[in-house]
Amino acid sequence: MKRAIYPGTFDPFTNGHLDIVQRAANIFDEVIITVAKNSSKQPLFSISERVEMIRESISDLPNARVDSFEGLLVEYTKRQNATIIIRGVRMISDFEFEFQMGLMNRKLAEHITTVFLMPDERYTYLSSSIVREIAQLGGDCTPFVPPNIKKYLHEKYSQ
């Protein structure tokens, strides 16, 4: 069984993220979307909120599930008996960073392979930080996030 890990902070989960998950689910037997705790970021949503939002967004994908982790990604990947790490790459600047991380992960665990997937061209400009800013300023996030995520963003910023 080819099990793949798709890690990220997903704050919030966007249509670009969903596109990558759908592509990965067509390639691998199982995809685990894992929400990473990143101490260098100040997330809008808690880890448990992000896990639940993603779970709702992928409910129609039977071979995808959501989890969270803290610590080294390669150690989490080993615990899940996975051999693939999926990374979404929108632009060449993403690739430079992701390439470096992929090589470091290979150095730490040579049996783990990083696979780069490109989202649909409609999402190459899309990022979670842009979506947060649009939502914070009262803009319409409909084209950028799954419907359930739009609801969570609206609730968060109307508090």
What tokens does 84 get?
A: 């693939």
- Of the candidates 23, 55, 65, 90, the residue annotated as catalytic is 90
**CA-wise closest residue to 10 among 91, 63, 66:** 66
With beta carbons less than 8 A apart as the criterion, state whether 119 and 90 touch. yes
The vertex-63 CA angle with 66 and 70, nearest 5°, equals 25
Our answer to whether residue 111 is catalytic in this structure is no
Among 50, 57, 87, 128, the active-site one is 128
For 5-18, the DSSP string reads: EEEE--TT--HHHH
Q: Which of 17, 50, 132, 150 is catalytic?
A: 17
Note if 41 is an active site residue. yes
Residues near 92 by beta carbon (within 8 Å), at least 6 away in sequence: none
Question: Among this protein's residues, is 129 annotated catalytic?
Answer: no
Residues annotated catalytic, as ranges = 17, 41, 90, 128
